[in-house]
């Protein structure tokens, strides 16, 4: 059960970077082509790439890394019991819970992403967070096992507060991504502008 929850993030990242590759290939193939239909399809693909980055890849990726390692440092048994070391080597643990962050930061630094309106973006992030929480609760209802051991130690009232806090945090990461994206690319635009003036 736990492995399914862990790999959800990797499915999101795989889909996102798959869309990135498809976008780049489509851009190369349509370069110099006057087909308006192909141009329209490319714009749709770019919009999808930007939406997935803004709403899923960045906030969920950063959330997983920061939450996992924060809880791990506090008490690893709550999120990643020592027993798992017998089956999952340290490098694979980092592959699942660490490498997501540098890859999304590199993507943000190398490609400008057009974020949706803040209200639409936050609504989408909230929908994902609530859906994921309901899915975790449904798994517990069916199997009697919490996907994350931490939840076994929380009373029902504290679980509600915890789930609400998780939703708030992932929304904060969405806003961080939006601000970071705008900062990086507004800075790039300013440099390009001043370089053109000086030349």
| % of the chain with per-residue pLDDT over 90 | 45
Q: Where are the domains of the chain?
A: 2-198
**What's the pLDDT band for 188 if we cut at 50, 70, 90?**
low
> Could you give the C-alpha distances from 75 to 14, 17, 47, 79, 150, in angstroms and in order?
29, 32, 41, 8, 9
User: Which whole number is the average pLDDT over 170-199?
Assistant: 75
The pLDDT score that the predictor gives to residue 126 is: 96
Residues in the chain: 199
The pLDDT score that the predictor gives to residue 5 is: 52
Average pLDDT, the chain: 85
Report the candidate in 158, 97, 166 with the shortest Cα–Cα distance to residue 134: 166
Q: Say which range, 28-42, 101-115, 184-198, has the weakest mean pLDDT.
A: 184-198
The pLDDT score that the predictor gives to residue 2 is: 46
For the four alpha carbons of 149, 150, 152 and 156, in that order, the dihedral sign comes to negative
pTM recorded for the entire structure? 0.83
The pLDDT score that the predictor gives to residue 30 is: 78
User: Which whole number is the average pLDDT over 3-19?
Assistant: 78
User: Which whole number is the average pLDDT over 39-52?
Assistant: 91
Query: Given a cut of 60, is residue 197 above it in pLDDT?
Result: no
């Amino acid at each position: 059960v736990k492995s399914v929850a862990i790999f959800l993030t990797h499915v999101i990242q795989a889909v996102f970077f798959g869309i990135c590759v498809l976008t780049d290939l489509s851009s190369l193939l349509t370069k110099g082509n006057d087909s308006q239909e192909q141009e329209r399809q490319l714009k749709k693909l770019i919009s999808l790439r930007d939406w997935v980055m803004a709403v899923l890849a960045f906030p969920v990726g950063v959330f997983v890394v920061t939450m996992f390692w924060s809880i791990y440092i506090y008490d690893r048994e709550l999120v990643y019991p020592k027993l798992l070391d017998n089956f999952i080597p340290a490098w694979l643990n980092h592959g699942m819970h660490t490498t997501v962050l540098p890859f999304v930061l590199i993507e943000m630094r190398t490609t400008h992403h057009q974020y949706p309106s803040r209200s639409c973006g936050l609504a989408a992030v909230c929908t994902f967070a609530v859906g994921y929480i309901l899915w975790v609760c449904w798994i517990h209802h069916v199997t009697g096992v919490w996907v994350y051991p931490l939840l076994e130690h929380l009373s029902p009232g504290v679980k509600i507060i915890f789930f609400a806090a998780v939703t708030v945090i992932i929304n904060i990461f969405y806003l961080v991504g939006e601000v970071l994206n705008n900062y990086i690319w507004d800075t790039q635009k300013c440099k390009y502008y001043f370089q053109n003036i000086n030349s």
